[in-house]
Structure 1
Amino acid sequence: MIVYEYPFNERIRTLLRLEDLYEKFKFFVQQEHPMQHHVALSTIFDMLEVAGRADLKSDLLQELERQKQSLLAYRTNPNVAVDMLDAVLGELDQVSSALVAAQGKTGQNVRDNEWLMSIRGRTIIPGGACEFDLPSYHAWQKRPAEQRHADIMNWFAPLTPLCAALALVLRLLRQSGAPIKLVAVAGSYQQMLQGKVYQMLRLSVDETLGAIPEISANKYMLWARFTTQGGDLKPKPLEGDVPFELTLCNF
C-alpha cells in the first residue's frame, strides 16, 4: 500500500515538510561520500528555512502539553493498558523537557557561523558551491568521512529536540484515526465533513493498481480524484473503480 497524506492546515503542512527534510537528512548524513554530506548540509539549511516561524517551538510545546493532559484523563479507564500509557506520558515529558531546554531561536548556532552562512549563500545559486567559489568548503569535503559526519551532527544538534517533538506529535496524530475501506466509483470520491475539523487525512491505495490520488479538502468536504500515469508519466484520469483506505486524523 502507498500512503498519501494531506494536511488540513498550515501548521501540519509545516510539520510534514520538516519531517520529510529530516528523513532525507538522516539518510544522507549516514553516507560517506562528500557529495552525500553536501546534500545533508544543504538539508539543514532547508530545515532552517522551513522552521523559521518563531512560534513553531511554542506550538509544539502547547500541543505536547495538550496531549499529555488528554492522556492523563485515561488513567481512570480500566480498559487502558497502564504500562503503555505511562510509556507515552514519559516520552511526552522527555521530549517537552528537551525542547524547553533548547535555548534561543531554532538553528541560531548555524546562523551565527559565518563560514556556514557563506556556504548557504552559495548553495542558493545553481552550481554555486564549486571549489573555485568556496575553496575552504572544498578542503573540508576532502577531510575523512568520520570527521565530516561529526561536524555535521554537531551543527545539527540544536535541531534535534525540535525534530523529536514534531516526530512525536505526528505519530500521535497518525494514530488518532482508524482506517475505513472505501471505493472511488469511476475514479472519484467525495465526502461531506459537515464542518468537523480534522488535522490530516491519510489515503492508502494498493500500489499494483497504479492509482494516484489528487486530494482537495477543507472542513466541509474532501474530494479525491484518481489518476494514472502513462509512458510519458503525465497524469491521466482513471475511470475504473478504485478501492482504498481513508483515515481522518484529529487530536
Structure 2
Amino acid sequence: MTVALYEFPLCEKVRNYLRLEQLFHQLDEVKFATTEFQYLYFFEVLFDLIELIERLDLRTDFVRDIDAQEKNLVYWSQHPDIDNSALEVALQTLHRLTHEIKLNKKLGSGIREEKFLNTIRQRFAIPGGATSFDLPSLFCWLKQPEDVKKQQLAAWREHLQVVDKSIQMLMSFLRERGRFTPAMANNGFYQGNVEDKIELIRVKCDNTKGYYPVLSGNKYRYGIKFMTLFPEAGSTGAVADNLDFEIACC
C-alpha cells in the first residue's frame, strides 16, 4: 500500500508557512541545475518566494512563535525523562534564529537589492516572458560558466536562509505536537472537534484506491470528506464506503 500524507492548515499563518516551505523545497530541487530551463525554473520559484515574503509580516509571526516554542521547551525541561542535550541544542537554535530575525528589520531585504534580479523579475510575471528577446541580460547570464552561476544561486539563496531555517524549525515543532491515530470515515466522512491551539490537521490514507481527503470547518469543528479522483459522469465524486485512515491534530 502506498500511503499519502495530506496536511490541512486551520489558520492563515500556518497556510503561509506551508506555502513557503513548499517553495523552499522546490528551490532546493533545482539548486543543482544544469540546463537553461532548470535555471529558469529556479528564477520562477525564487520570485514567487520573494513576492510571498514581501506580502507577509513574517518577522512578527516568527518572533512570537519562536518565543512560544522557547517557553514550551523550558517547561519540558522540568520533565525527568527529557533529553537535556537535545533540549539545549533546540534552545540554542531558537536563540540564534531570534537573534538573526531581530537583526533583519525586513526579512529578505538583501535579495531585493540585487540589481540583476530586479531587472528580470517583472518579465517573469508575463507568460513566456523569459525569452532571449525580452531578457537579453538573462540570456547572457545563462551562457556564463557553470561555477559562476552556481555561486550566484548560492548567494541569492543565502539571503533567504533565515526565513528557510525559521520555517523548518517552526513546522517541525508544530508537526511534533500531534501523533497519528487510527480513524474511520463512515460513508466517506469524518468529523472532529477543534481543540485549543490546533493549527494543522494531518491525514494519512491509502493512495492506491483513487480517493483523496478534503477538509472544511470552522474554529469549533471540522469535517473530512473523501472524494474519488475520477468520478463517474453525474456523480458528486464523494466516496460512499467506510474508509480507514490515520489522523494527527497538531
TM-score scaled to structure 2, two decimals?
0.91
Choose which of 31, 35, 38 in structure 1 pairs with 2:37: 35
How far is 1:218 from its partner? 2.2
1:231/1:199 Cα in 2 relative to 1: closer, same or farther (>3 Å)? closer
2: distance between equivalents of 1:186 and 1:230? 18
How far is 1:231 from its partner? 8.4
Query: Partner residue of 1:137?
Result: 138
Question: Does 2:76 correspond to 1:74?
Answer: yes
- Which secondary structure does the structure 1 equivalent of 2:190 belong to? strand
Q: Deviations over 1:195-214 (max 9, x none)?
A: 63411110111222322001
Query: Partner residue of 2:191?
Result: 190
Q: Deviations over 1:81-122 (max 9, x none)?
A: 222222222222232233333x34223233223431221110
1:203/1:98 Cα in 2 relative to 1: closer, same or farther (>3 Å)? same
Structure 1 segment 199-218 matched on structure 2, within 5 A: 199-218=199-218
- Greater Cα shift, 88-97 or 19-28: 88-97
Instruction: Say if 1:190 and 1:224, in contact at 8 Å, map to a contact too.
Output: yes
Instruction: Say if 1:214 and 1:225, in contact at 8 Å, map to a contact too.
Output: yes
Query: Partner residue of 1:87?
Result: 89
- Which secondary structure does the structure 2 equivalent of 1:246 belong to? strand
Structure 2: runs of 5 or more not aligned: none
- Which secondary structure does the structure 2 equivalent of 1:154 belong to? helix
TM-score scaled to structure 1, two decimals?
0.91
Q: Deviations over 1:153-212 (max 9, x none)?
A: 21221210111011100000000111121010111111233x634111101112223220
- Greater Cα shift, 21-30 or 212-221: 212-221
- Which secondary structure does the structure 1 equivalent of 2:249 belong to? strand
- Which secondary structure does the structure 2 equivalent of 1:19 belong to? helix
2: distance between equivalents of 1:54 and 1:237? 35
Query: Partner residue of 1:157?
Result: 158
1: distance between equivalents of 2:237 and 2:143? 47
Query: Partner residue of 1:23?
Result: 25
The percent identity for this pair of structures is 27
Instruction: Say if 2:231 and 2:237, in contact at 8 Å, map to a contact too.
Output: no
Query: Partner residue of 2:228?
Result: 228
The one-letter amino acid of 1:171's match is: S
- Number of corresponding residues: 246
Instruction: Say if 2:185 and 2:243, in contact at 8 Å, map to a contact too.
Output: yes
**Which runs of 4 or more aligned residues in structure 1 lie more than 6 Å from their structure 2 counterparts after TM superposition?**
none
2: distance between equivalents of 1:179 and 1:79? 22
What is the CA RMSD across the aligned residues, in angstroms? 2.0
How far is 1:142 from its partner? 1.1
Structure 1: runs of 5 or more not aligned: none
Q: Deviations over 1:9-35 (max 9, x none)?
A: 111111100000000000012221121
